[in-house]
């Protein structure tokens, strides 16, 4: 069979390689509606043009994670179509709001390579940049992926593991241009808790659970044009260790982010993803719960109306947060943990009258 594209295997990547990803995507109000239907998003800034205008923006921006998913989806045919697993994220910053009507495209640069000891796979580190139709960068992040080799006998490349920050420094966080919370309406936002009301070390149960449906997670992955067969092809996956399609990890992120409204309703904007791991696989029928832990707080220079809250967001399957005393035992995650992700959220401050 000719003219087909099998995607890149580990030995196809070279350090410093730059890949321009296909199929720029114009974001529509239909995308936003589908995203809300999939995850039950209730954050006011992304839900209401009037709330957004009162906050200094021209209209409601696209949810940060929808931007992430669309940019991520562009990269799959080139980076992870032959992946065993997406291993982690780091140094992810949201740099500019995206609105319906914007067109997103993506490029990636290979910044690290390491063949694994089994000789059959290797880890590929890439930095991906998403830009709008004006060439303005809206998103920048690093991820690393375990990718199959085409030929286990092919020579290993020189090992290069990039030096990545554990946390995006507060001074490198970008507040969306024009956004201000001087007249913040907590009633319409749905939460009475401001930045000052959260304490470092505090844990917040997000209470609600949402069951993953097969058609829902496959619809989501199609929406992002993510072509990984592990999410769609039951014929290919039925003989695997789970016997089922694996839910796209970003679907779990958005599910638990939606659940986090209960407890973090004023954390409407994700400024950065410091790091994250998909710890265990999720399949249709699993019910996702979540909790957050406040890790840090940071002032934003020159701003008295808003500040940053650093949270660890954990997604669980088929166990509520109250069922846990610890998510790790002897350095290993509990099998019920799906996701462990570290975020900077933008929060309103209480204004002094």
DSSP string of 313-342? EEEEESS-GGG-S-SEETTEE-TTEEEEEE
What is the pLDDT at residue 226? 87
pLDDT of residue 214: 92
Pairing status of strand 328-329 against strand 332-333: antiparallel
The confidence band for 264, taking pLDDT boundaries of 50, 70 and 90, is very high
pLDDT at 110 over 50: yes
Q: What is the per-residue pLDDT across 28-81, written as a single tens digit (0 to 9) for each? A: 999 999 999 999 999 999 999 999 999 999 999 999 999 999 999 999 999 998
Which ranges of the chain does DSSP label H, i.e. alpha helix?
Answer: 29-39, 44-47, 49-54, 64-79, 186-189, 214-223, 234-237, 249-259, 261-264
8 Å CB contact between 67 and 35: no
Annotation: CATH topology of 192-353: Thiol Ester Dehydrase; Chain A (3.10.129)
Is residue 108 within 8 A of residue 141, CB to CB? The reply is: no
Which residue would you say has higher pLDDT here, 87 or 132? 132
Give phi and psi for 103, each to the nearest 5.
-110, 125
pLDDT tens-place string over residues 215-253: 999 999 999 998 888 888 888 888 888 888 999 999 999
Mean local confidence (pLDDT), 120-139: 97
Return the residue matching tokens 């097969």.
214
Q: Where are the domains of the chain?
A: 1-150, 192-353
If pLDDT is split at 50, 70 and 90, which confidence band does 15 have? very high
Instruction: Name the fold adopted by 1-150.
Output: Thiol Ester Dehydrase; Chain A (3.10.129)
- The band of 352, judged by pLDDT with boundaries at 50, 70 and 90, is low
Residue 197 and residue 47 in contact, taking contact as beta carbons nearer than 8 Å: no
- pTM of the predicted model as reported, rounded to 2 decimal places: 0.95
Average pLDDT over residues 341-350: 97
What does the pLDDT read at residue 242?
A: 84
**Mean pLDDT, the chain, integer:** 94
Q: Is there a contact between 157 and 14 (Cβ–Cβ < 8 Å)? A: yes
pLDDT for the residue 229: 80
In this predicted structure, the answer to whether residue 353 has a pLDDT above a threshold of 60 is no
Average pLDDT over residues 10-37: 96
- The predicted-structure confidence for 180-196, as pLDDT tens digits, reads as follows 999 999 999 999 999 99
């Amino acid at each position: 069979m000719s003219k087909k594209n099998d995607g890149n295997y580990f030995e196809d990547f070279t350090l410093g390689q730059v890949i321009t990803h296909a199929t720029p995507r114009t974001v529509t109000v239909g995308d936003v509606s589908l995203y809300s239907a999939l995850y039950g998003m209730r954050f006011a800034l992304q839900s209401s043009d009037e709330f957004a205008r009162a906050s200094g923006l021209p209209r409601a921006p696209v949810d940060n994670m929808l931007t992430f998913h669309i940019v991520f989806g562009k990269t799959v045919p080139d980076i992870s179509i032959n992946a065993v697993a997406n291993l982690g994220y780091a140094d992810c910053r949201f740099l500019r709001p995206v609105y319906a009507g914007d067109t997103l495209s993506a490029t990636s640069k290979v910044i690290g390579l390491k063949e694994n000891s089994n000789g059959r796979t290797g880890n590929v580190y890439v930095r991906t940049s998403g830009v709008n139709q004006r060439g303005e960068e809206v998103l920048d992040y690093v991820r690393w992926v375990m990718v199959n080799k085409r030929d286990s006998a092919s020579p290993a490349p020189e090992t290069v593991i990039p030096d990545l920050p554990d946390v995006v420094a507060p001074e490198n966080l970008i507040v969306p241009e024009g956004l201000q919370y001087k007249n913040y309406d907590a009633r319409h936002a749905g939460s009475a808790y401001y930045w000052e009301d959260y304490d470092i070390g505090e844990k917040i149960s997000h209470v609600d659970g949402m069951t993953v449906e097969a058609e829902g997670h496959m619809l989501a992955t199609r929406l992002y044009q993510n072509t990984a067969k592990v999410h769609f092809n039951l014929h290919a996956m039925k003989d695997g260790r789970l016997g089922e399609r694996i839910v796209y990890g970003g679907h779990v992120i958005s599910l638990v982010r939606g659940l986090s409204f209960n407890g973090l309703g004023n954390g409407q904007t994700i400024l950065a993803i410091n790091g994250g791991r998909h710890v265990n696989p999720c399949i249709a029928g699993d019910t996702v719960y979540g909790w957050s832990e406040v890790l840090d707080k940071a002032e934003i220079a020159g701003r008295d109306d808003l500040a940053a809250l650093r949270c660890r967001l954990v997604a669980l399957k088929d166990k509520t947060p109250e069922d846990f005393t610890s998510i790790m035992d002897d350095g290993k995650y509990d099998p019920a943990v799906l996701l462990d992700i570290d975020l900077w959220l933008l929060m309103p401050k209480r204004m002094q009258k």
